[in-house]
Chains A and B, each alone.
Chain A
Amino acid sequence: MIGQLPLASFVGAVEFIFSPQESSVTGGKKVGGFDKSMELLLKHLEVTILALAIALVVALPLGLYLGHRGKGEQLAIGLGNAGRAIPELAVIALVAVLIGVGIQNVAPVLAILGVPPILNNAFVGVSQVDRATVDAARGIGMSESAIIRKVELPIAIPTVMGGIRSAAIAILATATIAPLAGVESLGDFIINRNVYGENGLLAGAILVALLALAIEGSLALLQRRLTSDGLKVKTA
């Protein structure tokens, strides 16, 4: 309720995540709880991963290619920046009206958010690889595609992964509006305040934040694994 102490609301939200709570509009059936939280969390994760995968397929090859050629900076950066300005809520509403609802329509819309950071970072990362290194690779007879795969991409990994991590977080955060178009993500707790109350609202926010940390953490680990030993900053 409004006026509760922040700590009390936090405790209420945590309770909501683990055990079902009373609601005034459900006719006595309790809402929330661990099973429901996990169900929504998995759906949230599913739509996020699907959207990220679409964004990767579209943006990563294009960014790498443009960066390798050192051309199309306007395209890579301009398109990227324009993509950031698109209001997702409006696009989801439009797609829902024109094409339809459901995960197969929501994921591509969310993917729009992932394209700009992936495209930008792939372009910048690859185009900043030392030209002497690239020339050397060409000199020993590597094909252009092998240069991208074996020389430029490995060197650009920290930057490329940075873009993918931004994309993942942007998609994850925006997936909270997915229940408006037929996909029951964690946004369900946040949007339906009349059903879940303040505890549900906060619980939804906490779960989204935890999921964001988990994804960020896994991608950071992946980045460490992918980065060549020679590029790692030695701390010890």
Chain B
Amino acid sequence: MRTDKTRVRVLLAALAALALTLGIAACGGGSDTTGSETSSEEGGSGAAIQSNPENGKVNLTIGSKNFPEQEILGEIYAQALTAAGYKVKSALNLGSETVALKAVKTGQISGYPEYASTALTSFFGLEPEEVPSDATEAWEKANEEFEKEGLEAFEPTPFASANAVGTTKETAEKYGLKTVSDLEGVSEELSLYGSPECRQRIDCLAGLEKLYGLKFKSFTPVDIGLRYTVLEKGQANLSILFTTDPQLSAESDKFVILEDDKKVFPAGNVIFVTAQKVAEEAGPDYEKTILQVQEGLDLKVVQELDARVELEKETPKQAATAYLESAGYIGS
């Protein structure tokens, strides 16, 4: 008897939860509009995203590769598209670019953010020195190739991410290092650390050797998560970093990057890669919303977002919401 009663109670609770969820989903469109009105009063840089009830019929799945910066970008796009009225799911752990591209092609995801440089070198076989340094040119070149495969890439973000040779401020001052070319003559005394794949990559050690003609005392492969640790512990004189790393702004008194004066590390602005069919079915708000929310993503903002997740241990979801709210794209 007692068990029966418990069962009924559980069932009722489940039903109530279901009803509540449906109710919230049903009035989702309405509350969004009110939300966006308040946010535009806050004076954010972006106009609030308008929810369009038409979009409620469209299901989207936004993907990303599995490291913090990508997950934040994925969340930003997913939350913005939700605000525009779409039904959005996310798949933010897609491993390498090969996996992510395959997921777009097979329709498992609607789209994901990719670096234009990675697309050009990894998917379309360009040499790093062939990657246009101009963001628009790189995007157009990538888009041409994507279109041949029934895909398309939206316009690039303001920020670009690239590999960089980094060191401690102390080392830079000791050897008078400002650019990568300054390493000539001293690199034989310096040890370089980088991810295991760096040794062979032309946009990493292979390029430093071939295009700058540098020889290092040693190259040691380490897990990518250790790129600052090895500098801090004094094991590495030089370490391969990323230009969007939050440590570069948060600890700018400790770490510096050397200017890539011979352009060995192609900078990648982010382009959102999607299938043409998906873009057609989703209507004009799909591209419009994505382009709108990425307008505020300059290097400083992205470093700060990366810092929230990598240093302050916020979730990518929290960081994305904070960005969208402070820029006024969605209401808080």
Contacts of A31 in B (CB 8 A): 200
**A191 at the B interface (CB under 8 A):** yes
Q: Is B96 within 8 A of A193, CB to CB? A: yes
Q: Is A184 within 8 A of B221, CB to CB? A: yes
Alpha-carbon gap, A100 to B220, bound state (A): 11
Contacts of A181 in B (CB 8 A): 222-223
Interface residues of A, count at CB 8 A: 26
Q: Chain A residue with minimal CB distance to B128?
A: A27
Alpha-carbon gap, A179 to B194, bound state (A): 11
Q: Chain B residue with minimal CB distance to A30?
A: B200
Interface string of A1-17 (1 = CB under 8 A from B): 01000000000000000
Q: Chain B residue with minimal CB distance to A191?
A: B196
Contacts of B202 in A (CB 8 A): 25-29
Assuming the A-B contacts A25-B121, A27-B128, A100-B233, are A180 and B222 also in contact, with contact meaning beta carbons closer than 8 angstroms in the complex?
yes
From 23 to 53 in chain A, residues with beta carbon under 8 angstroms from any chain B beta carbon are 23-29, 31
Contacts of B184 in A (CB 8 A): none
Contacts of B230 in A (CB 8 A): 101
Contacts of B206 in A (CB 8 A): 26-27, 29
From 160 to 194 in chain A, residues with beta carbon under 8 angstroms from any chain B beta carbon are 179-182, 184, 188, 191-194
Complex partner residue of B196 from A23, A24, A180, CB under 8 angstroms? A180
**A85 at the B interface (CB under 8 A):** no
Q: Is B226 within 8 A of A96, CB to CB? A: yes
**A124 at the B interface (CB under 8 A):** no
Q: Is A27 within 8 A of B196, CB to CB? A: no
Alpha-carbon gap, A155 to B96, bound state (A): 53
Q: Is B220 within 8 A of A27, CB to CB? A: no
Interface string of A100-135 (1 = CB under 8 A from B): 111000000000000000000000000000000000
Q: Is B223 within 8 A of A93, CB to CB? A: yes
Q: Is A96 within 8 A of B223, CB to CB? A: yes
Q: Is B201 within 8 A of A96, CB to CB? A: no
Contacts of A191 in B (CB 8 A): 196-197
**A97 at the B interface (CB under 8 A):** yes
Q: Is B221 within 8 A of A188, CB to CB? A: yes
Alpha-carbon gap, A29 to B97, bound state (A): 21
**B59 at the A interface (CB under 8 A):** no
Q: Is B223 within 8 A of A195, CB to CB? A: no
**B277 at the A interface (CB under 8 A):** no
Q: Is A25 within 8 A of B203, CB to CB? A: yes
**B108 at the A interface (CB under 8 A):** no
Q: Chain B residue with minimal CB distance to A188?
A: B196
Closest Cβ–Cβ distance, residue B167 to chain A (whole Å) = 17
Contacts of A25 in B (CB 8 A): 121-122, 197, 200-203
Complex partner residue of A195 from B127, B200, B207, B222, CB under 8 angstroms? B200
**B102 at the A interface (CB under 8 A):** yes
Complex partner residue of B223 from A23, A180, A188, CB under 8 angstroms? A180
Contacts of B102 in A (CB 8 A): 2
Closest Cβ–Cβ distance, residue B161 to chain A (whole Å) = 16
Contacts of B122 in A (CB 8 A): 24-25, 194
Alpha-carbon gap, A145 to B197, bound state (A): 51
Interface string of B201-214 (1 = CB under 8 A from A): 11100110010000
Alpha-carbon gap, A25 to B125, bound state (A): 8
Interface string of A186-224 (1 = CB under 8 A from B): 001001111100000000000000000000000000000
Q: Is B207 within 8 A of A27, CB to CB? A: yes
Complex partner residue of A24 from B125, B129, B207, B226, CB under 8 angstroms? B125
Closest Cβ–Cβ distance, residue A136 to chain B (whole Å) = 56
Q: Is A182 within 8 A of B197, CB to CB? A: no
**B23 at the A interface (CB under 8 A):** no
Q: Is A27 within 8 A of B127, CB to CB? A: yes
Q: Chain A residue with minimal CB distance to B207?
A: A27
Q: Is A101 within 8 A of B196, CB to CB? A: no
Interface string of B275-289 (1 = CB under 8 A from A): 000000000000000
Q: Is A26 within 8 A of B221, CB to CB? A: no
User: 7 interchain pairs (CB within 8 A)?
Assistant: A25-B121, A27-B206, A96-B229, A101-B226, A182-B193, A192-B196, A195-B200
Contact surface of A with B, Cβ cutoff 8 Å? 2, 23-29, 31, 93, 96-97, 100-102, 179-182, 184, 188, 191-195
Contact surface of B with A, Cβ cutoff 8 Å? 96-98, 102, 121-122, 125, 127-129, 193, 196-197, 200-203, 206-207, 210, 220-223, 225-226, 229-230, 233, 235
Extra inter-chain contacts (14) besides given A27-B210, A97-B229, A193-B96, CB under 8 Å: A23-B200, A25-B202, A25-B203, A27-B127, A29-B200, A29-B210, A101-B222, A179-B196, A180-B223, A182-B193, A182-B220, A182-B222, A191-B196, A191-B197
